[in-house]
Structure 1
Amino acid sequence: MNKQPNNITNELVHLGRDSVTNGRSVNLPVHQTSTILFNSLEEFEAARNDRYEKGTLYYGRYGNPATFELENMISELEEGAGCVAVSSGLTACAVSLMTFASAGSHILIADTVYGPTRMFCENVLKNYGVKVTYFDPMIGTGIDQLVQENTSVIFLEAPGSGTFEVPDIPAITKVAKDKGLTSIIDGTWSTPLFCKPITLGVDVVVHSGSKYISGHSDAMLGFIVTATEAQYNQARKMSLAFGDRAGANDVFLALRGLRTLEIRLKQHQESTLKIIDWLKAQPSVSRVLHPASPDCPGHEFWCRDFKGAAGLFSIELAHIPEQKVRNMINSLSLFAIGLSWGGFESLILPVDPAAFRVATEWKERGPLIRLNIGLENTQSLIDDLAVGFSHLNE
């Protein structure tokens, strides 16, 4: 067989699959197992000695053939040295922080991180003697002024949750490298197709695989991708110390979802940009907070570092009474009310950045509404929003 040059479209179809061609199924089977059997005590002991190494079959918690294929696939897509699959996106954030922070150390967390990540810092890390400082994600090289003698980690999210600021990733990671710190970024929004943070200097990339990677709102898993083998070994040992693992069925669903990731993202992007144009023409919309929008903070960094526009963003409404906003949301038929995002269905929820921020003040006056643009017909989504917006003018 001729070896084809690397191509993301082909990689999404062919990575993470058996190389044997005769009589194999298109999809890897679900490896639902705990106990792994060995032919001899010597084979068992060899596996035990190598249990932290990639691809070593030892016990179900340490991974199975499908887990290893998925981890290798995500690692290749991110251009990383290794990937650890875990049970959720929050677990990926928590394990990565526990890996590179320790009691008595200090960490820097972007003020726009995913809410549960912030809660983990507040409710767990602080109780174990880790000092946490939140910073303005738009600080750039100014983050140098926040680094202390015991700082160990800088944690970013790009774009930020709720308000979608895009930080200057290379500027911040340069400070991290100059100071000998570990930089971690939540790259769930962009997936490896729209941004590869490791190529921008990031040490560790975390993902919620429940979002675009799985794509069908039916899987719970996360990923930790590292720039070096040493970091991979640290993260893998930490996840196993917690007894965490990605479920067999979730691994199967993620491998399935990855096959259509590119084509889904293209549709999400196309619909999102059309809906943004419509929203900007509505008198009740003060601002669209999407990195592709020129007035979104960090738009210039998005243009430089990202290759596409995902379907999650927020809109800031004019000063409108809360009940009218609630009536608008409740009147929608295609936009459902629910947590998460990145699936095939469109979602809507109000968000309140002011409720959590401590390093940056949310000064905007109008209500903030988060939209996830799914795979429904674009014009139908616009028509649905038009009906909902009519309630804002009653």
Structure 2
Amino acid sequence: MKKKDTLLADAGPNTRLAHIGHDPHSFHGFVNPPVVHASTVLFPDSRAMETRAQKYTYGTRGTPTTDALCRALDELEGSAGTILVPSGLAAITVPFLAFLSAGDHALIVDSVYTPCRHFCNTMLTRLGVTVEYYDPEIGAGIEALIRPNTKLIHTEAPGSNTMEMQDIRAIADAAHRHGCIVTMDNTWATPLYFRPLDFGVDISIHATTKYPSGHSDIVMGSVSANGKYWPQLQEATITLGICGAPDDSYHILRGLRSMGVRLEHHQKSALAIAEWLEGREDVARVLHPALPSFPGHAIWKRDFKGSTGVFSFVLKADAPEKFKAKAHAFLDALTIFGLGYSWGGYESLAVHVNLSDRTIRKAPAEGPVIRLQIGLEDVADLRKDIEAGFAAAAAV
């Protein structure tokens, strides 16, 4: 191990983020890695070509640029290897395709990212995999759902939109007693605030579109595996022909450099807004794991090192027939908050959450769920914008 690598192993998160993934002295001292665009790679002779006796053989199998990002993510995750894929959804579906076969049974958390549910209910089912959804708060009780043919358990914490926390260690321990693979979508926390592989997860999944990018201009995903499952994951991505683009990899790597600083701001601002919302009469509930009032707070406090900028609240409404009208009035009155999907960028966003696809964790009865992404703007300005939304909703 190089001296710098030894020092970085004990360094703080922001120091590590500033230096991981690329050695400037490996390329003339430039602090950022070169962007290598490649499909064809030349070999020195026919024997080398036949045996593929060199590091790079074809563009889909990696370049110095994509490798720099993979090395950085492995450093953050503590993983044996990482693949890059074109989107966060692909980061979920590629491991499913890698590890599930016809006749297998998969357990998927009911608070899962909606496009993941669509993939499971359509393509995965068509391929002969039985899909069953489970309560996100089941914990060690998941063992009762494991069948002889259960192969994979997919987790996500906090859950999409409604933010339920999962006892990842308890689920992983139960899964491994039965030989099941555990995958986790850890996009919300990033490996700075939660490292899935340290809690027994086998495959850690991220939409690097979100906080690693940080600027709402890149779509990409990453999948990081432990040593046991890395070879099979790597083989699957080669077989599928899935790869990350060098320009996108470069921008994600650049985004990593400031991710720790940005997350601190997202965390501080989001908590300030969440605490303020808890005291409002027009809010039925605030769904944020870092709030002591949240049902999953104890798990968050025990396992996570921080919280980020995404949470939801239930807008109080006196009748179900008014839910949509109140939500639309609230959203349409916003100026600083944009109305858009995704999150993790510098700008604040808001969306009316659709929970109609849930099978276990149904939509709250008190009112519509509004998800907020708290960006890098000033809290005082965001509060004024939200107040305008509440005034419009109250007029419905």
AA at the equivalent of 1:349:
V
Q: For each residue in 1:1-46, what CA deviation from the matched residue of structure 2 results, as whole angstroms up to 9, or x when unmatched?
A: 7652522222101111124178432211221111111211222233
- The aligned amino acid for 2:71 is N
- 1:142-221 equivalences under 5 Å are 142-221=141-220
Once the two structures are superposed, residues 75-104 of structure 1 have per-residue CA deviations (whole angstroms, 9 ceiling, x without a partner) of 110111111111111111001111111111
The residue number in structure 1 matching 2:383 is: 382
Q: Secondary structure in 2 aligned to 1:4? A: helix
Aligned CA distance change for structure 1 residues 18 and 41 (closer, same or farther; 3 Å): farther
Output the TM-score relative to the length of structure 1.
Answer: 0.95
**CA deviation after TM superposition for structure 1 residue 386, in Å:** 1.4
Correspondence 1:4 to 2:2 = no
Compare 230-239 and 284-293 and name the one that shifted more.
Answer: 230-239
Q: Distance in 2 between matches of 1:183 and 1:160?
A: 16
Deviation at 1:327, TM superposition (A): 1.8
8 Å Cα contact 2:275-2:291 kept in structure 1? no
Aligned partner (choices 26, 32, 40) of residue 31 of structure 2: 26
Q: Secondary structure at the match of 2:389?
A: helix
Q: Partners in 1 of 2:348 and 2:242 — Cα distance?
A: 31
- On the 8 A contact 1:210/1:221 being kept in 2, the answer is yes
Q: What amino acid maps onto 1:204 in structure 2? A: I
- Corresponding position: 1:368 with 2:369: yes
Partner SS, residue 325 of structure 2 = helix
- The CA distance in 2 between the partners of 1:393 and 1:22, in whole Å, is 60
Q: Say how many residue pairs are matched.
A: 386
Distance 1:280 1:201, change over 3 A: same
Note the residue ranges of structure 1 that are not aligned, 5 or more in a row. Answer: 51-55
Which residue number corresponds to residue 289 of structure 1? Answer: 287
Is 1:38 the counterpart of 2:43 in the alignment?
Answer: yes
Distance 1:113 1:324 in 2: 26
CA distance in 2, matches of 1:280, 1:365: 15
Secondary structure of 1:184's counterpart equals: strand
Letter in 2 for 1:305: D
Structure 2 unaligned runs (5+)? none
What is the CA-CA distance between 1:363 and the residue it aligns to? 4.3
Pick which of 257-266 and 9-18 moved more. 9-18
SS in 1 for 2:346: coil
- The one of 343, 347, 350 equivalent to 2:349 is 347
- CA–CA separation in structure 2 for the residues paired with 1:170 and 1:311: 24
SS state at 1:341 partner: coil
1: CA distance, partners of 2:131 / 2:28: 54
* Matching residue's letter, 1:196: R
Question: What residue identity is the alignment partner of 2:366?
Answer: R
* CA-CA distance at 1:57 after TM superposition: 0.7
Deviation at 1:323, TM superposition (A): 2.2
Q: SS of 1:159's equivalent?
A: coil
Q: CA RMSD in A?
A: 1.5
1:13 is aligned to 2:30: no
Partner Cα distance (2:343, 2:138) in 1: 28
In the other structure, the counterpart of 2:329 is 327
Per the alignment, residue 73 of structure 1 pairs with: 72
**2:109 aligned partner:** 110
- Aligned-partner Cα distance in 1 for 2:49–2:379: 55
Identity of aligned residues (%): 40
Q: TM-score w.r.t. structure 2 length? A: 0.94
Check the 8 A contact 2:327/2:393 in 1, yes or no: yes
Q: Which residue of 2 aligns with 1:245?
A: 243
Structure 2 Cα separation of the partners of residues 205 and 173 of structure 1:
13
Amino acid in structure 2 at the alignment position of 1:38: F
Distance 2:191 2:310 in 1: 16
| CA contact 2:348–2:372 (8 Å) conserved in 1 | yes
Structure 2 Cα separation of the partners of residues 306 and 22 of structure 1: 37
For 1:366 and 1:227, how far apart are their aligned partners in 2?
A: 42
AA at the equivalent of 1:14: H
